[in-house]
Amino acid sequence: MSDNTTNQGLEGITVAETRISDIDGESGELVIGGYPIEELATNATYEESIFLLLNGRLPTDRELANLRAKLAARREISDEVRAVLRRAAEEEKPAMDALRMGAATATIGTEDGTPQDDAQRVIAAFPTIVAAYWRYRQGKKPVAPREDLGHAANYLYMLSGEEPTDAAIRGLETYLNTVVDHGVNASTFTARVVVSTESDLVSAATAAVGTLKGPLHGGAPGPVLDMFKEVHESGEPEGYVRETLERGERLMGFGHRVYRVRDPRAAVLSTAAERFYEASSNTEFFETVQDLEECAVDILAEHKPDRRLETNVEFYTAALLHGLGIPKDVFTATFGVSRVGGWMAHCLEQLENNRVIRPRAHYVGATGRTWTPVGER
């Protein structure tokens, strides 16, 4: 017999002990490996964040150089993966489908067989997969990764074929650090479930990509950018927000399962985006974004007085990635390029003290039926 107490969406259920990140949804604080997100995101390179997640502390100079070299040496993807990506692009499949297909096709080498090495291989391959797919979508050849560029710089380089500016690299480092981990969110939980069966890290990453794809998780920034463009053109944020809610639709980029205040990642990304838009003398678009936030928060407060709906990470993700010149079609895949670091760290943590994750369901279906042969139904 099943237990009849259910918890829709597993809200409030603690499923793991973790040293990776901690969220305080009431006060709006996010701590990664002990560092407030505001500090880590704006100072670290993505490689430093990855080291922190995988090892529980920041690297020394030498350890960082070693990790950078290892990731750089593992960026190449095989001809087989490239063929899958070319086909996905020719069939105009969305980038997240291509990332899922590319990730699933990537095989883990067993150079020295440690889980850390496997994790690094998966993390290193993600930007190359997304960028190669995007180049094929443009009818162009993929740009080979460069060993002398860092993880963030290399991703921008492989997408556009041009060496990025320091400001763009810093903007992307900030983004990648900001979204690298966030407790046991849906995709991270997926990854932990997969490895809890003693399956492998590629399978965990592939399943997590599928989870991240949905608009209630990582799929929101594309629609958020559409919203920015529409409002920028009309100059009518209030009309847009009211009409969206009147149609019974959700306003993309607002609300969160855990935060009851503004998502702290929104503040980090908003500052980074503002700096970038100011430097590129494109402040008008960013002003639209800020006006929209202000107006939407007030209207959402009237619309849902019992549930505080504030800006989540996806709102300023769209603003920052658009400013950096990253195409909207790969916004969610770029989220994956970062979050794969968190997934891998959670997988390794799960394996340290593993027990298969296996919750229960409360059965509400039919009972007492007797079998009827097919011809008699």
Of the candidate spans 66-74, 97-105, 212-220, 225-233, the one that interacts with ligand ACO by CB under 6 A turns out to be: 212-220
The residue within the footprint of ligand ACO, chosen from 122, 184, 209, 252 (CB under 6 A), is 252
Q: Minimal distance in Å, beta carbon 79 to ligand ACO?
A: 34
Residue indicated by tokens 């503004």: 262
Does 251 participate in binding ligand ACO (rule CB under 6 A)? yes
Residue 48 bears catalytic tag = no
Compare residues 3 and 302 and give the one whose CB is closer to ligand ACO.
Answer: 302
What's the chain's length in residues?
377
Number of alpha carbons in the 13 Å side-chain half-sphere of residue 10: 12
Return d(Cα 65, Cα 253) in angstroms, integer: 37
In the numeric block, the tokens 């020719």 are attached to 90
Binding segment for ligand ACO among 69-77, 164-172, 233-241, 311-319 (CB under 6 A)?
Answer: 311-319
**Structure-block tokens of residue 92:** 């105009």
- Interacting span for ligand ACO (CB under 6 A) from 50-58, 94-102, 137-145, 310-318: 310-318
Q: How far is CA 68 from CA 65, 151, 153, 164, 182, in A?
A: 5, 8, 12, 18, 23
322 flagged as catalytic: no
Residue nearest ligand ACO by beta-carbon distance = 255
Q: Tell me how far CA of residue 122 lies from CA of 45, 206, 373, in angstroms.
A: 18, 10, 50
Q: Give the tokens for residue 128.
A: 């190359």
Given a contact cutoff of 8 angstroms between Cβ atoms, the answer to whether 169 and 150 are in contact is yes
Determine which one of 314, 322, 346, 349 is catalytic.
314
Q: Which residue has the tokens 């494109």?
A: 282
Under rule CB under 6 A, residue 373 binds ligand ACO: no
* Tokens coding 149: 């560029």
Pick from 312, 334, 338, 350 the residue near ligand ACO by CB under 6 A. 312
208 binds ligand ACO (CB under 6 A): no
- With CB under 6 A as the contact rule, the residue among 70, 242, 257, 275 that binds ligand ACO is 257
Q: Mask: binding to ligand ACO, 3-32, rule CB under 6 A, as x and -?
A: ------x-----------------------
Q: From 62-70, 154-162, 228-236, 255-263, give the range in contact with ligand ACO by CB under 6 A.
A: 255-263
Q: How far apart are CA 291 and CA 295, in angstroms?
A: 6
254 binds ligand ACO (CB under 6 A): yes
Active-site entry in 151, 182, 217, 256 = 256
Q: Which residue has the tokens 């960026």?
A: 75
The contacts found for 299-302 with CB under 8 angstroms, 24 or more apart, are: 299/238, 299/241, 299/242, 299/245, 300/241, 300/245, 300/251, 300/254
349 binds ligand ACO (CB under 6 A): no
Phi, psi angles (nearest 5°) of residue 298: -65, -45
Which residue of 216, 226, 283, 363 would you call a contact of ligand ACO, by CB under 6 A? 216
Q: Does 74 bind ligand ACO (CB under 6 A)?
A: no
Q: Give the interface with ligand ACO as residue ranges (CB under 6 A).
A: 9, 215-218, 220, 250-257, 304, 307, 309, 312-314
Name the residues annotated as catalytic.
256, 314
